[in-house]
Structure 1
């Protein structure tokens, strides 16, 4: 368990450094990433994890579904995460953070 927590901490540090350098991100992008980290860390899983739109919107203080989907698609396009939507009303969507190393190769945990 401690190893997974250490990996989760390293993932957060990696993303924090990337966020500082990325001028494309708005406050709502960072708030949504914060909400995603919260739900990812609750399960201590570095692979795929689930999150519902309503909970992520509430946690990130995003009130518009259009804004939520725009910011989420931006984060996918910018290479921060993978997203598989769930079109079922009671099943949560699936997410996974993407880690890009200095050689621009994808390493997914």
Structure 2
């Protein structure tokens, strides 16, 4: 039987396997990253993903703002994501997946 996972699906699985193998990440980091990847998959984009805090919290099952902010910031500090906030109510913020950090874990 032929595998029906497309190129985007394979790349997401590659990202996930790299994240899982990084001992610096805990379950909260993985949950947030998985939510971001899921949004990117739905949007058809692998690197620049339009996000909102409420959507990431919903998808990652992170229920408190302090937890969300702590681990989201750590992902930025670790170099996994670059966050570009939007202060305009009509535009979502953007998260960019950083290849540099991903390539260090290969």
- Kept in 1, the 8 Å contact 2:36–2:49? The answer is no
Unaligned runs of 5+ in 2: 1-5
TM-score for both structures, normalised by structure 1: 0.76
SS in structure 2 of the partner of residue 83 of structure 1: strand
Question: Which residue does 1:72 correspond to in 2?
Answer: 72
Question: Which residue does 1:37 correspond to in 2?
Answer: 37
TM-score for both structures, normalised by structure 2: 0.78
SS in structure 1 of the partner of residue 23 of structure 2: coil
Unaligned runs of 5+ in 1: 105-109
Q: For 1:61 and 1:90, how far apart are their aligned partners in 2?
A: 25
- Taking only aligned residues, the RMSD between alpha carbons, in angstroms, comes to 2.0
Measured against aligned partners, the alpha-carbon deviations of 1:24-54 in whole angstroms (never above 9, x if no partner) come to 2111111111110111111111342211100
The total of aligned residue pairs comes to 98
SS in structure 1 of the partner of residue 95 of structure 2: strand
Measured against aligned partners, the alpha-carbon deviations of 1:56-80 in whole angstroms (never above 9, x if no partner) come to 1011111111111111111111121
SS in structure 1 of the partner of residue 63 of structure 2: coil
- Kept in 2, the 8 Å contact 1:53–1:92? The answer is no
Asked whether 1:57 is paired with 2:57, we answer yes
- Kept in 2, the 8 Å contact 1:32–1:60? The answer is yes
- Kept in 1, the 8 Å contact 2:37–2:46? The answer is no
What does 1:1-109 correspond to in 2, within 5 Å? 5-6=6-7, 8-100=8-100, 101=103
